[in-house]
Structure 1
Amino acid sequence: MPIVLITGANRGLGLEFARQYAADGWTVIVTAREESPELSQLGVRVEQLDLNDLDQVARVGDRLDGPLDLLVANAGTYGPGAVDDANAAAEWGRTFTVNTIAPYLLARAVLPRVAEARGKLIAISTRMGSIADNSSGGYLAYRSSKTALNMAWRNLALETRSQGVIATMFHPGWVKTRMGGRSAPLEPEESIAGLRKVIAGLGPKDAGEFFQWDGARVPW
């Protein structure tokens, strides 16, 4: 049975990814800073991971045995809303660690396992990371860290395609989660079902591309 590793799965989109893949019979490994009752009920394997600890991130591959079919790098943080003093700037740097550096380092750490399966590396990004789509400004830390994630993942796609690995980025839509808020139009179940359908259909030509949850391309 296929194996998926999902980061940030203690709530929101990550938890829904875990729920749906587990229901379809996948072996599900999730990472979270702490276990939640919801994860316990799913019966998935939980690995403690703090994305601020890059030494820990770099060793995630050591915890895995055998091929890994899919990595979903889902964990992320908003960071400060504005960056106008030294404290906010330091938080901006930590946002880059969690949203950009740690996912890339994690992907490199598990790459031998994914290459063994000729699998997929998926980064959950956001349309807010699109430079072409930014007409409102705001959310500097979040936007800039996700834009950087897109570039890092594009590089990753180019570096790994010769190994049969497909690396792609996704915008999950505006979803009713703690981060998305109650006014978001999409339910987590719909977003994740759409994402899973598109992920399952990815081919080599899609490596390094940026899609949204329904398969439409997102402008850079």
Structure 2
Amino acid sequence: MHKHLFITGANRGIGHCFVKEYLSSGWQVTACCRDPSKATQLLEFQQTNTQLVIAKLDLEQLEQTNLNSLKIPKQKIDLVIHNAGYYGPKGVNFAEINLHEWRKVLEVNTIAPLALTHQLFQAAHLSNPCTIAFVSSKVGSMADNRSGGGYYYRSSKAALNSIVKSLAIDLVSHNIKTVALHPGWVKTDMGGPNALIDPETSVIGMQQVISSLTEQQSGSFIDYQGKTIPW
């Protein structure tokens, strides 16, 4: 039986590349995005991949979302990748705090991944064993913050990292491992054209980290090259 990946933010950038790589490896993939009708690349994949299911999921509307409406395949999920993210306004400094935007960043990057994990767990969608990977960012590292600023995104990823660590402890008895991943500075809509690596390089590296993740590493913060990042 094929293994099953459930991924958010699957319609572009890193998420789209994850879908491509796991489909090519023979996995069943449930790819979530806000508007499947506009996910042209996913729709193209679906024409030649019967293992791909595209699901409409808005992470800002999780409380109104019934998982049954996503038509998730009955096969248990072996890997969850929380990839969807929102950066918010760039160049934010201490004098320009916008609470509405900050809440939106926290909702998508921090609250939704935990809430969705809880829903999948409660609905018994997760396999035994299962791995849950959270695409975080090095900017969420306290030790690495030498430039200040970035309040919305930094705080959302630092909080996400804390969630990953707690889940590793709380879910160990269910044979579930977790990991926070730093994808590197990637050439995507969020990363911009000056980024250092392409999505394929990042995703292939993160795939290797996920596939080789040990129980001892569960709850760790690891970059796409397999290096542990300080909290």
Instruction: State the TM-score, normalized to the length of structure 1.
Output: 0.94
Structure 2 counterparts to residues 83-98 of structure 1, below 5 A = 84=95, 88-98=98-108
The aligned residue for residue 13 of structure 1 is 14
User: In the alignment, is the contact (CA less than 8 A) between 2:4 and 2:75 conserved in 1?
Assistant: no
CA contact (8 A) 1:12 1:188 kept: yes
Aligned to 1:206: 217
Q: What amino acid sits opposite 1:68 in the alignment?
A: I
Q: How far apart are 1:54 and its partner, in Å?
A: 2.3
Which of 48, 53, 77 in structure 2 is aligned with 1:68?
77
In the alignment, which residue of structure 2 is the partner of 1:176?
A: 187
Q: What is the distance in 1 between the residues matched to 2:160 and 2:194?
A: 26
Measure, in 1, the Cα distance between the counterparts of 2:8 and 2:180. Answer: 15
Once the 2 structures are TM-superposed, how far is the Cα of residue 80 of structure 1 from its aligned partner? 2.9
Q: TM-score, normalised by structure 2?
A: 0.89
CA separation of 1:201 and 1:101: change in aligned 2, threshold 3 A: same
Residue 109 in 1 paired to residue 119 in 2? yes
Q: How many residues align?
A: 217
Deviations 1:171-204 (A, max 9, x none): 0000111111111111111110011011001111
- Give CA deviations for 1:24-50 in whole Å, capped at 9, x if unaligned: 110011110112110011112111011
Q: Deviations over 1:41-82 (max 9, x none)?
A: 11121110111112145x337743231100000000012332
1:60-112 Cα distance to aligned partner (Å, 9 max, x none): 377432311000000000123326467x1111011101000001111111123
Q: Structure 1 residue 118: deviation in Å?
A: 1.0
Structure 1: tracts of 5 or more residues without a match: none
Residue 134 of structure 2 corresponds to 123
1:50 maps to: 58
1:80 maps to 89
Q: Structure 2 residue aligned with 1:165, among 171, 176, 190?
A: 176
Query: RMSD over aligned Cα, in angstroms?
Result: 1.5
